[in-house]
Structure 1
Amino acid sequence: MDYSWPTRGAPEDGVVAIDAQGRIDYLNAAAAALFGYVPEALLGQLLEVLIPEPQAAVHARLRRAFAAGKAPLAIGRMRAVRGRRRDGSEIALHVMLKRDADTGRVFAFVHPLERPSRGGGGGRETGEDPLTGLPDRRALRRDLDAMLTGADPTQPQVCLLFAEIDPFAGNRAAVDPAHHDALMRACADRLERLETEAMQLYRSGEDGFVFLMVQETGAAMPGPQLARVMAALRAPFEIGGQPLHLEFGIGHACAPEHGAHAGELIANAALALAASKAAFNRPTGYDESLRSRVEHRHRLLRDLRAAVERREFELFYQPQVDLISGEIVALEALLRWHHPEWGLLLPGAFMEVLSASELSLAVGDWVLREACTQVAIWNRHRKTPLTVAVNVFPRQFDRDILPAAITRALAESGLPPRLLDIEITENIVIDPATHSTEVFEALTATGVALVLDDFGTGYASLTCLARHPVHKLKIDKSFVAGLDTGPGYRAILKSLQALAGTLGLGTVVEGVETAETAALMRDFGFAVGQGFFWNRPMAREDCARALGIVGQVVEAWA
């Protein structure tokens, strides 16, 4: 069975016939009335007279390609388009094109897209996106179903290419969200120009587009088509007077290798799209490993929900040590998960999924309360009080969430604000959506110390220092690990400490694993170190013993 584009609708309203040169050589009275003409006024004119600008120019190009022997993809299927009436107004239409193989003429069957419903109210037939006029995801499913039903594997293969746009990534500070519709229309217009006899565009969701493609079996997927789509979306757009450079993910899948049925193929192409977005928008084709990774992620998220309910989390504590006296001066609170099947899990096994979930708000709030309460209890038994450092989840970093959570934790525990360090990673701070300046101002008002974590590893670290009231820098362990590779890392570490000293900031250097390294960091001027040389992260009881305090631990999830 040959793959062919399915037909939909009925040609009962208006009929326009176009000759091989694209000129109207016949139309019935219904079609003429639809556009506000008498039939004689349109005879001999190019069809573009009935198409609004700039779509008319696009149509003319496609028509010329058709005349050169390439059958447009729109032949034989219904589409939602905009028509231009005699008075210049536009009208939404359903159009289906049929070709007469003997004469080469093309017949366009047209009727208004908006029709009264049976109940007398207004209504719109399904299958078209009202914003762009493109066929929507329902139309995609119908067309794909028709093409795959009874398909012959010796015939060309059907492929899906999903593209999803992040409209305001990198543009949040300059773009009004009200421009979203204009941007989507501009994307649709640009992508529609890529349509060929084997490549049809659909809209999918708020920010997504899908190409349904036919190509020879065994051809590399999606090959040149992918390059054209990426080039179209990478070229800057101008919306509301602002130049926009878009970020977007692309995933693709082909039948029958990646799904013999429409639902399966769509689902697998969507999985590839999700993998593309997770891989910093690198175009991704479906393979079986994607499904196993997604299934694992779903299992992990389900288990994390249960972990919150069953209170399976625990805090471990890693000391931060004064490099001169060797005394423990602070503790970093580190999350661990007692999974009922997999045992004790380190953050690397679950943190990515947890951070992306709203569960992180509940877990982050618990971490703050647990850490503050525990260290406040231990401080009652010490002459010199300890500071506790707590890491922040991205979803917590909100002016209406994090300051309130800190204030509650301090009030409930009795820990003084000066003994709480809030560690914030650079990737949180540089996200324009977080409105980080406002959050920093609110956090500063709580009296806690703000620590820029993993300092030196990101391109915006110095910008963060210039813009935000940071109190400490936590030097990433990668610099210490690189000491044996050459003199460059020594120079970097010295310069980072000098920078902190000039700015009046405290420092904590991570990754100290030997006495020699500890001595070297002291010589460089660092005041506090953290690493396996002193202690690995410890459970509460072990940490209490290391502090010389026994039996003074708070009950988890109290």
Structure 2
Amino acid sequence: MDYSWPTRGAPEDGVVAIDAQGRIDYLNAAAAALFGYDHGVLLGQALEVLIPQRQAQIHAQLRRAFTAGKVPLAIGRMRSVAGVRRDGTEVALHVMLKRDADTGRVFAFLHPLDRPGGARGDSREPGEDRLTGLPDRRALRADLDALLRQADPAQGQVCLLFVEIDPFAGNRASVDPAHHDALIRACAARLEGLETDDMRLYRSGEDGFIFLMVQRAEPAVPGPQLARVMTVLRAPFEIGGQPLHLEFGIGHASSPEHGVQAGELIANAALALAASKAAFNRPTGYDESLRNRVEHRHRLLRDLRSAVERREFELYYQPQVELASGRIVALEALLRWRHPEWGLLLPGAFMEVLSSSELSLAVGEWVLREACAQVASWNMNRANPLTVAVNVFPRQFDRDILPASILRALAESGLPPAQLEIEITENIVIDPAAQSSEVFETLHALGVGLVLDDFGTGYASLTCLARHPVQKLKIDKSFVAGIDTGPGYRAILKSLQALAGALGLGTVVEGVETEEIAALMREFGFEIGQGYFWSRPMPRQDCARVLGFVDQVSVP
């Protein structure tokens, strides 16, 4: 037994039959009229009379496959091709081939794309992508179902290879998004050139393609095919008159190891693709750990919803200390989750999932209100009021969300705007959907402090300083951690402080863990330090005691 690709569709308009030697031995009147011939003229002629010269090489490959006794990929698949009329003009066609296994004859069912009196788009076949002419995911599902029903491990494994391109990665400033369609067609043309008897291409979503293949050699990992896909996509494209280099992720899964049902195999290949994109587009095959991570993520998201309802979140506070005097001048509010089964969780255990969820809006609102209320309460009994620094989620950083949340928190707590600092990370600033300039300007007008967090670790930090009204830089702790590894980190820290001074900005340096480091940061000119030398993040009861409020341990 060998795999045979399933057929789809129904004959339309013209029908041409070709014998085992490639000669036309039957055609109906519609086919003769389509090519502009009298009915009897074409009988006995080689099929090449109807094929444009530029497609002769592809046709020759198909003929060789027939001669070798193989069932080419084109059999059973609707394809967009060009035919040649008797007068030399070309006609755009949909063609589907079916083979008679007993006689070796091949029947071509022809459907003109440009119907008289009809729109070109109206001729699109069910299961076909309009932009590229490739079969779509509906067709993939049908073909995959059919192949899996006849699956025979002795004849090879059925594999899926998912490809998703990022059309404008690294090119966002120079590429017109209007060129997207041209790029997708160019990708489709290159990938379609990789098709073989055992490998079909499909369009998936806006920027995706899928290869369905039969892998006839061990191991089941589609190594050679994967290498060819990567080679053709890495070569530069020319779109809109300029070169374009793509980034792309690739994930793959094989049956029966990764699923015996079509839905399961598709889902697992999609998981592998997601893992590839998370691993900076390194090609990734499915394994059980991917499923485990997804299940853990779903569990975590479910528990986070419960945590919002049950108020399981807490704020811890870490002091920020004036280096010259040793006084606590500010507190950073840090989120913790007291999970009913796992105990107290640090942000690394849940922050990624929470940040990507709509739940972050509710949690972020609570953090603002809780932090402002707590510090306002402590400040009532302090001669030198504290500032509270609050981190915001990417979804909060919106002109219609964050300013309103801050105004509510300040109004309810009575905390003056100048005693609230909003810490903003670079990933928020560079998000084109975040409307950064408008949000920065609105927050600046409210009178709250704006702090650029983790400064110095990303390429957009300096751009942010030039564009937005930031008042303070928070120097990432990685620079302090590397200070004993060589003179480079000391030079960087001095340069960052000099930059802040030249721009009139305040500074907070993170990661201060020893008295020697604190003294060195003071020598470099930094104003405020934060780190384990003074205190780890504390629950509010412990923080209240450190601040001298023995009896006042919570918000009234």
Relative to the length of structure 2, the TM-score reads 0.88
Q: Which residue of 1 aligns with 2:282?
A: 282
Tell me, yes or no, if the aligned pair for 1:172 and 1:433 is still in contact at 8 Å: no
Q: Distance in 1 between matches of 2:244 and 2:50?
A: 32
Using the TM superposition, give the Cα deviation of residue 299 of structure 1 relative to its aligned residue in structure 2, in angstroms. Answer: 0.7
Q: Which residue of 1 aligns with 2:75?
A: 76
* Pair 1:95-2:96 in alignment: yes
Q: Which residue of 2 aligns with 1:267?
A: 267
Against the structure 1 CA distance between its residues 486 and 273, is the aligned structure 2 distance closer, same or farther, given a 3 Å change threshold?
A: same
Q: Distance in 2 between matches of 1:398 and 1:47?
A: 62
* Pair 1:4-2:14 in alignment: no
Q: What's the Cα RMSD here?
A: 3.0
Q: Deviations over 1:220-256 (max 9, x none)?
A: 6221211222233333444455544333221101111
Against the structure 1 CA distance between its residues 81 and 507, is the aligned structure 2 distance closer, same or farther, given a 3 Å change threshold?
A: same
Overall identity of the aligned pairs, in %: 76
Tell me, yes or no, if the aligned pair for 2:249 and 2:277 is still in contact at 8 Å: yes
Against the structure 1 CA distance between its residues 42 and 536, is the aligned structure 2 distance closer, same or farther, given a 3 Å change threshold?
A: farther
Q: Which residue of 1 aligns with 2:536?
A: 536
Give structure 1 stretches of 5+ with no counterpart. 116-121
Aligned length: 543
Using the TM superposition, give the Cα deviation of residue 543 of structure 1 relative to its aligned residue in structure 2, in angstroms. Answer: 1.2
Using the TM superposition, give the Cα deviation of residue 291 of structure 1 relative to its aligned residue in structure 2, in angstroms. Answer: 0.6
Q: Which residue of 2 aligns with 1:210?
A: 210
Q: Deviations over 1:459-482 (max 9, x none)?
A: 332333233322211111111111
AA partner of residue 552 (structure 2): G
Tell me, yes or no, if the aligned pair for 1:173 and 1:432 is still in contact at 8 Å: no
Using the TM superposition, give the Cα deviation of residue 294 of structure 1 relative to its aligned residue in structure 2, in angstroms. Answer: 0.7
Q: Deviations over 1:347-405 (max 9, x none)?
A: 00000111111211221122122212221222111111111111121222223322332
More displaced 10-residue stretch of structure 1: 105-114 or 154-163: 105-114
1:116-195 pair list within 5 angstroms: 126-175=126-175, 177-195=177-195
Tell me, yes or no, if the aligned pair for 1:540 and 1:553 is still in contact at 8 Å: yes
* Pair 1:62-2:58 in alignment: yes
SS for the counterpart of 1:458 is coil
Q: Distance in 2 between matches of 1:306 and 1:334?
A: 20
AA partner of residue 201 (structure 1): L
AA partner of residue 73 (structure 2): A
SS for the counterpart of 2:533 is coil
Q: Distance in 2 between matches of 1:272 and 1:125?
A: 30
Q: Distance in 2 between matches of 1:218 and 1:154?
A: 11
Using the TM superposition, give the Cα deviation of residue 337 of structure 1 relative to its aligned residue in structure 2, in angstroms. Answer: 0.8
More displaced 10-residue stretch of structure 1: 391-400 or 300-309: 391-400
Q: Distance in 2 between matches of 1:237 and 1:72?
A: 33
Q: Distance in 1 between matches of 2:48 and 2:450?
A: 66
Tell me, yes or no, if the aligned pair for 1:374 and 1:554 is still in contact at 8 Å: yes
More displaced 10-residue stretch of structure 1: 226-235 or 171-180: 171-180
Using the TM superposition, give the Cα deviation of residue 323 of structure 1 relative to its aligned residue in structure 2, in angstroms. Answer: 0.7
AA partner of residue 67 (structure 1): R
More displaced 10-residue stretch of structure 1: 139-148 or 185-194: 185-194
SS for the counterpart of 1:318 is strand
Give structure 2 stretches of 5+ with no counterpart. 116-121
SS for the counterpart of 1:154 is helix
Q: Deviations over 1:228-286 (max 9, x none)?
A: 22233333444455544333221101111111222221111111111112222221100
Q: Which residue of 2 aligns with 1:31?
A: 31
Against the structure 1 CA distance between its residues 413 and 62, is the aligned structure 2 distance closer, same or farther, given a 3 Å change threshold?
A: farther
Q: Distance in 1 between matches of 2:123 and 2:270?
A: 30
Q: Which residue of 2 aligns with 1:229?
A: 229
Against the structure 1 CA distance between its residues 177 and 491, is the aligned structure 2 distance closer, same or farther, given a 3 Å change threshold?
A: closer
SS for the counterpart of 1:213 is strand
Q: Distance in 2 between matches of 1:325 and 1:405?
A: 34
Q: Distance in 2 between matches of 1:495 and 1:38?
A: 84
Tell me, yes or no, if the aligned pair for 1:172 and 1:432 is still in contact at 8 Å: no
Tell me, yes or no, if the aligned pair for 2:318 and 2:535 is still in contact at 8 Å: yes
Using the TM superposition, give the Cα deviation of residue 150 of structure 1 relative to its aligned residue in structure 2, in angstroms. Answer: 4.0
Q: Which residue of 2 aligns with 1:119?
A: none
More displaced 10-residue stretch of structure 1: 175-184 or 476-485: 175-184
1:361-400 pair list within 5 angstroms: 361-400=361-400
SS for the counterpart of 1:272 is helix
